[in-house]
Chains A and B, each alone.
Chain A
Amino acid sequence: MAADILQFIIYAALVTLLAWPVGLYMAQLYSGHRTVLAPVLAPVERMTNRLLCVRENHGQRWTQYALACLAFNMAGWVILYAILRLQHLLPLNPEGLPALSPDLAFNTAVSFVTNTNWQAYGGETTMSYLSQMAGLTVQNFVSAATGIAVGAAVIRGFFARETKEIGNFWVDLTRTLLYVLLPLSIVTTLFLVWQGVPQNLLAYVQATTLEGGSQLLAQGPAASQIAIKQLGTNGGGFFNANSAVPYENPTPLTNIVQMVAILLIPAAFCFMFGKMVKDSRQGVAIFAAMGILFVAALAFTYSAEVSGNALYDDLPIDQTAGNMEGKEVRFGTGNSALWAVATTAASNGSVNSMHDSFTPLGGIALMLQMQIGEIIFGGVGSGFYGMLAFVLLTVFIAGLMVGRTPEYLGKKIEAKEVKLSVIAFLVMPLGVLVFGAASAVLPVGVASLQDAGPHGLSEIIYAYSSATGNNGSAYAGFGAGVPYHNTMQGIAMLLGRYAFIIPMLAIAGSLAAKKTVPASEGTFPTHTPLFVTLLIAVILIIGGLTFFPVLALGPIAEHLAMTAGETF
């Protein structure tokens, strides 16, 4: 236990210490300043821009920015869908895998374009190398870059003064790929290859096990995809078992490096924000709010997992290591809980244990982190702009209490911003509750459940929280790959992505056009511990009020039944 806590502290320290410089570097990049990598990358950037006819200094209004972003994602979806449907005709398919069904291809294409990486399939048994590399890995990069670019543009809206422009999507996209994602991925990939993760294009290998059985060992360009799946909060595993399998996650070092990679860019966004709005305290305040919520979720989940299952107490089962069902012995409860909390806090979704096997209480924190909109660090870029929606709400409700029109960073929060934030806030209830409720009563929805009773409900709720939150992890008992869920999940993912991006860009556009009111004694302070407390309270109350009823019927009912010795 002490060792676990020591690990948690080391992890938190690593994330903070790395996110700080990365955030400052990104702030330089998105403010248009020269960065340390410019000598190498600036010529490449110039060439790319010339090739794509992008004018570097051409600013876009929020509508143009949003259109560019949507058009780019739409094109990405079409290409990916085509690759998946035609993979049997395309090269680099040594196993001769067949084409994907229309609903699975729709679901998977949406899933990767929206940075969700919900996988209704098993990687090594479904995807050809071409689909993995030219299809999925490409989207791993560009969907992450889309989120980061939008995040940067939204931040610009908060410090721009009386302008209609919030940046240029194509410039932001290229810069994100060249200056942020590629360098970080290369470093991480090299590290993973060094630690033994495969990176090849070989056919699968037939091996004879110690017992004399026969096993097919999957191969492939795994290391590079794993690097970007973590850094870009994608989460889609190269192999079906994701980061639980030794091929994806062979050593304790790869485990911690991957976990750090999950939160690195989302956490860096806080510091980037502080630097860009020229008040680092503002970034630190948001980092603190996210950090406290993260620690609380971790404490909740870890304590539930360590305590194990009360039903086993009278059985001859050794629970000294906690609830070990569905966990790798290599990682234990500590590292499994930490990974689970990190991957659901960020909208990552890669796993090193089976979340479905967590205790009911342990699962609550995972679900709630997704349901409040993936804003505790969250997805790259998306987590931060989602959090900004909560910041605006907090400032609006409490800001009135200081007797002024609510302001954030000198920008007045008025009817338009409130309206747009409200639209964003409707996304999670719609995606989770409406789709979840439909799946809970429709026979075709319930058919996918592995378990009866409250845990079955948890499986549905987890699945739709994951899809709408663009997370991608699942309670494995949920049989996702059926046409009904493939379609519904696809819609939920689109809703969760674009019904957030568009209002947030609109808010940025509206704020950018406003005057900046200089701060005074009468200004609502948004960098104090009081504000951090308030922000956390608003997140918990709003998120809690929305999802408490269904959590009561799912995991809470399951927990109470479990402690009462009742099973379903």
Chain B
Amino acid sequence: MKRSSEIGLFDKRVIGPAFGAALAKFDPRVLAKNPVMFVTEIVAALSTLLFIRDLMTGAENAALVGQIAAWLWFTVYFANLAEAVAEGRGKARADTLRATQTETKAKRLKTADDRTGETVSSHKLKPGDIVLVETGDIVPSDGEVIEGVASVDESAITGESAPVIRESGGDRSSVTGGTRVVSDWLKVEVTAKPGESFLDRMISMVEGAERQKTPNEIALNILLAGMTIIFVVVVATLQPFIMYSGAAVPIVFLIALLVTLIPTTIGGLLSAIGIAGMDRLVKANVVAKSGRAVEAAGDVDTLLLDKTGTITFGARMADAFEPISGIDPKDLAEAALLASLADDTPEGKSVVDLARKQLGRSHDGSDLVAETIPFSAQTRLSGADLKDGRKLRKGASDAILKWCETEPTSQITGLVEAIAKSGGTPLLVARDKKVLGVIHLKDIIKPDIRERFAELRRMGVRTVMITGDNPLTAAAIAAEAGVDDFLAEATPERKLELIREEQAAGKLVAMCGDGSNDAPALAQADVGVAMNTGTPAAKEAGNLIDLDSDPTKLIEIVLVGKQLLISRGALTTFSIANDVAKYFAILPALFVAAYPSLNALNVMGLESPASAILSAVIFNALVIIALIPLALKGVAYAPSSAASLLRRNLLIYGLGGLIVPFAGIKLIDVVINAIAIV
């Protein structure tokens, strides 16, 4: 499931089989789940019978009846096709996954101390079995590492090519079936039942086999069924009213009216929208355990985000050099640079980078160094002795002061404290036992995160930063990152408490986590995203799993959830608005026999009653096909406030839905009269 295996909208692998799969969906038992299309199928069958009757009796409008019947079948077929294409895309993705799931041999151990064991098929493994996985082996099933450390290539699942470390204990103890150990060995206790591994679940998820209707989808379905009943009443009572008026219309005309009125557009595309929404998540490398979680993501009011890794890079970087009075800033930068040459940590490298930038040169001056002093846990400092005999050191303030054998001046204390207070880490730099100044190390905030938070705020989502830092530091970082609130000195208990508080106020909370101690909070949150690198407990507790283990993914998930709901709402609005034009097409045609003057309602100036009815039916069928790409891709969505979203979508899908069919039906009318099929 690498991102490279992108599936295009009209991929041949998908479209070809979909034509066939759509036919199988004509089965009334399958269609009965969709009230709108079920009614369409029933009346399509009815009009086919009427067509056969008219053929046998030689009725004059048999050709028209036949065409209407055909287009009704097409309407059902197009709806089936939409669903089949959506499912096909999931299947294509599942096939890629299944390729990694070929049967593997597993070395099952009798006890944890055993080292040889027996070779069995991976399908035979039960939860609790212990297997040995060595260099080059495929991990046979999901499990937890109980012994050993190894690097594991998880690219089959995540698409990320760099191997990751898996070890027993701690938060990196979980392994996934289908991944490959590239070095060392692991003893793994199997946690998944046969056929229920993570990969199995993912496959059934993307194939739509496990798809259950989400709450909003159920509600919408009820509304659509209700509207269908209303229109059945409207159309069924029309014949008596027309009879009162001294005329009668062919049943098939009433059927045509019914099908164009009931919300076939949204009814036909509803399940495709849902499947496509799941598909978009999978494309983002997120696996949802239920569709409910995806929908809930769109409703989220509060996002809890861990500071480290989500808001900041997690590694501290040099941000500034602050010399004490009397020292040339360049002098301090030079000393910091030379003292850090031997420091290979990200912090050390960042000091070198910053110094070079400030000094404006590209060479690092390593030719001046006689001997580098690496960092050691005893001295807690590092540095360099230069060829000219000068000694440079940098390190934590107490270590440097100890090396200098001096008491700190008030200026040094002031600088150090100010940096600590702002959430940074101070490092002292000294030359020949004399303090030159301070390096300000800072937890760097990700470059575009502030804008993301502003986006979320516009959507009405409140962000809360979770950090173990003290409140002062936390406040400084929170202000810089632009989050709405923060939880400092957070413990798992505090986090859980915060979620409960938010929920008690009626809010929906989303969070992500990876450690076992996150599990209660993940379970409590309405949307819990577990990192794939996390412990099995965390993965079990969350309702979504991010294969990339990227905490910022939470924001993307919220967007996918919203887009799913917007697509449904937009197409429902469009579908209902369409009915106005269809009335003006079909009603005059129905009533003209009773009252010729009612042709005044034929505002589109359609050619004849027959062509008017046929045009409306054809438009009704074709609009489903035309909207399949929209249903699969989802309605375009840019984060903004509810009010502006509503205005925009109403204009496009509401007003558009009113106007488009007038033009569309007129156009079809012109075409079918030109080619004289009525």
Which residues of A approach B to under 8 Å, CB–CB? 393, 396-405, 410, 413-415, 417-419, 422-423, 425-426, 429-430, 433-434, 436-438, 440-441, 446, 453-454, 456-457, 515-518, 520-525, 528, 530, 534, 537, 541-542, 544-546, 548-550, 552-553, 556-557, 560-561, 564, 566
A545 touches B580 (CB 8 A): yes
Give the docked Cα–Cα distance between A417 and B220 (Å): 11
Give the docked Cα–Cα distance between A521 and B576 (Å): 27
Give the docked Cα–Cα distance between A451 and B577 (Å): 36
Flag whether B637 is at the interface (Cβ < 8 A): yes
B566 touches A400 (CB 8 A): yes
The contact string, 1 if C-beta is below 8 Å from chain A, for chain B 128-143, is 0000000000000000
A433 touches B506 (CB 8 A): no
Report which of B505, B563, B573, B650 forms a contact with A530, defined as CB distance below 8 A: B650
* Shortest Cβ gap from B266 to chain A (Å): 10
List residues of chain B with CB within 8 A of the CB of A437.
236-237, 240-241
A517 touches B233 (CB 8 A): no
Report which of B223, B226, B595 forms a contact with A454, defined as CB distance below 8 A: B595
With contacts A403-B637, A524-B646, A548-B587 taken as known, whether A418 is within 8 angstroms of B576 at the C-beta atoms is no
Report which of B219, B231, B600, B646 forms a contact with A396, defined as CB distance below 8 A: B219
Interface centre among A441, A520, A542, A550 (most CB of B within 10 A): A520
* Shortest Cβ gap from A547 to chain B (Å): 8
With contacts A516-B506, A517-B301, A522-B461 taken as known, whether A429 is within 8 angstroms of B233 at the C-beta atoms is yes
With contacts A425-B226, A437-B241, A518-B506 taken as known, whether A400 is within 8 angstroms of B295 at the C-beta atoms is no
List residues of chain A with CB within 8 A of the CB of B299.
404-405
List residues of chain A with CB within 8 A of the CB of B570.
400-401
List residues of chain A with CB within 8 A of the CB of B236.
437
Give the docked Cα–Cα distance between A453 and B241 (Å): 11
List residues of chain B with CB within 8 A of the CB of A541.
576-577, 579-580
The contact string, 1 if C-beta is below 8 Å from chain A, for chain B 479-521, is 0000000000000000000000000011110000000000000
B457 touches A440 (CB 8 A): no
A403 touches B566 (CB 8 A): yes
Give the docked Cα–Cα distance between A97 and B371 (Å): 125
B561 touches A415 (CB 8 A): no
B residues 635-650 in Cβ contact with A at 8 Å: 637, 641-643, 645-647, 649-650
Report which of A398, A438, A517 forms a contact with B506, defined as CB distance below 8 A: A517
B597 touches A433 (CB 8 A): no
Tally of B interface residues using CB under 8 Å: 73
Residue of chain B at shortest CB distance from A438 = B240
* Shortest Cβ gap from A527 to chain B (Å): 10
Report which of B218, B234, B245, B459 forms a contact with A553, defined as CB distance below 8 A: B245
A-B contact pairs, 16 of them (CB 8 A): A403-B561, A403-B637, A422-B222, A425-B230, A433-B233, A437-B236, A440-B240, A441-B243, A457-B245, A517-B301, A518-B301, A521-B642, A541-B580, A549-B587, A557-B598, A560-B598
* Shortest Cβ gap from A80 to chain B (Å): 32
With contacts A397-B573, A557-B591 taken as known, whether A525 is within 8 angstroms of B643 at the C-beta atoms is yes
List residues of chain A with CB within 8 A of the CB of B238.
549-550
At the interface, is chain B mostly helix, strand, loop or mixed? Answer: helix
Flag whether B348 is at the interface (Cβ < 8 A): no
Q: Which 9 A-B pairs have the closest CB atoms?
A: A522-B460, A400-B569, A403-B562, A422-B226, A520-B460, A521-B460, A401-B569, A437-B237, A560-B597
Flag whether B88 is at the interface (Cβ < 8 A): no
Report which of B461, B507, B649 forms a contact with A401, defined as CB distance below 8 A: B649
* Shortest Cβ gap from B178 to chain A (Å): 34
A397 touches B576 (CB 8 A): yes
* Shortest Cβ gap from A528 to chain B (Å): 7
A524 touches B222 (CB 8 A): no
The contact string, 1 if C-beta is below 8 Å from chain A, for chain B 559-586, is 0011101101110110011011001000
Interface centre among B220, B577, B637 (most CB of A within 10 A): B220
B223 touches A441 (CB 8 A): no
Flag whether B594 is at the interface (Cβ < 8 A): yes
Residue of chain B at shortest CB distance from A530 = B647
Report which of B230, B460, B587, B645 forms a contact with A552, defined as CB distance below 8 A: B587
B458 touches A552 (CB 8 A): no
Flag whether B242 is at the interface (Cβ < 8 A): yes
Residue of chain A at shortest CB distance from B223 = A418
B298 touches A549 (CB 8 A): no
A523 touches B215 (CB 8 A): no
Flag whether B450 is at the interface (Cβ < 8 A): no
Residue of chain B at shortest CB distance from A422 = B226
Give the docked Cα–Cα distance between A566 and B240 (Å): 23
List residues of chain A with CB within 8 A of the CB of B647.
530
A401 touches B244 (CB 8 A): no
Flag whether B386 is at the interface (Cβ < 8 A): no
Give the docked Cα–Cα distance between A106 and B242 (Å): 31
Give the docked Cα–Cα distance between A451 and B80 (Å): 50
Residue of chain B at shortest CB distance from A558 = B595
Residue of chain A at shortest CB distance from B461 = A522
List residues of chain A with CB within 8 A of the CB of B156.
none
With contacts A433-B233, A561-B597 taken as known, whether A403 is within 8 angstroms of B298 at the C-beta atoms is yes
Other than the given A433-B233, A516-B506, A518-B507, 10 more pairs (CB < 8 A) read A396-B223, A398-B573, A417-B219, A517-B506, A517-B508, A522-B301, A541-B579, A546-B234, A548-B587, A553-B598
With contacts A398-B646, A534-B650 taken as known, whether A413 is within 8 angstroms of B219 at the C-beta atoms is yes
With contacts A405-B298, A545-B580, A549-B234 taken as known, whether A521 is within 8 angstroms of B458 at the C-beta atoms is yes
Residue of chain B at shortest CB distance from A417 = B219
List residues of chain A with CB within 8 A of the CB of B597.
557, 560-561, 564, 566
With contacts A404-B565, A457-B245 taken as known, whether A430 is within 8 angstroms of B233 at the C-beta atoms is yes
Residue of chain A at shortest CB distance from B597 = A560
Residue of chain B at shortest CB distance from A544 = B580
* Shortest Cβ gap from A10 to chain B (Å): 35
Report which of B241, B459, B572 forms a contact with A440, defined as CB distance below 8 A: B241
List residues of chain B with CB within 8 A of the CB of A423.
226
A522 touches B642 (CB 8 A): yes
Give the docked Cα–Cα distance between A564 and B597 (Å): 8
Flag whether B15 is at the interface (Cβ < 8 A): no
With contacts A426-B229, A434-B233, A561-B597 taken as known, whether A545 is within 8 angstroms of B261 at the C-beta atoms is yes
List residues of chain A with CB within 8 A of the CB of B223.
393, 396-397, 418, 422
Report which of B229, B587, B645 forms a contact with A402, defined as CB distance below 8 A: B645
Report which of B219, B576, B637 forms a contact with A414, defined as CB distance below 8 A: B219
List residues of chain A with CB within 8 A of the CB of B505.
518
A560 touches B595 (CB 8 A): yes
A429 touches B234 (CB 8 A): yes
Give the docked Cα–Cα distance between A43 and B241 (Å): 57
The contact string, 1 if C-beta is below 8 Å from chain A, for chain B 446-473, is 0000000000011111100000000000
A397 touches B650 (CB 8 A): no
B residues 551-565 in Cβ contact with A at 8 Å: 561-563, 565
A557 touches B595 (CB 8 A): yes
Flag whether B601 is at the interface (Cβ < 8 A): yes
Residue of chain B at shortest CB distance from A401 = B569
List residues of chain B with CB within 8 A of the CB of A528.
643
Report which of B237, B457, B573, B577 forms a contact with A436, defined as CB distance below 8 A: B237
A457 touches B650 (CB 8 A): no
List residues of chain B with CB within 8 A of the CB of A417.
219
Give the docked Cα–Cα distance between A96 and B304 (Å): 81
Residue of chain A at shortest CB distance from B572 = A397
List residues of chain A with CB within 8 A of the CB of B508.
517
List residues of chain A with CB within 8 A of the CB of B600.
560
Residue of chain A at shortest CB distance from B257 = A549
List residues of chain A with CB within 8 A of the CB of B253.
none
Give the docked Cα–Cα distance between A393 and B222 (Å): 12
With contacts A404-B298, A522-B461 taken as known, whether A426 is within 8 angstroms of B226 at the C-beta atoms is yes
Residue of chain A at shortest CB distance from B226 = A422
With contacts A418-B219, A561-B597 taken as known, whether A550 is within 8 angstroms of B241 at the C-beta atoms is yes
Give the docked Cα–Cα distance between A397 and B222 (Å): 12
Flag whether B654 is at the interface (Cβ < 8 A): yes
B residues 249-277 in Cβ contact with A at 8 Å: 261
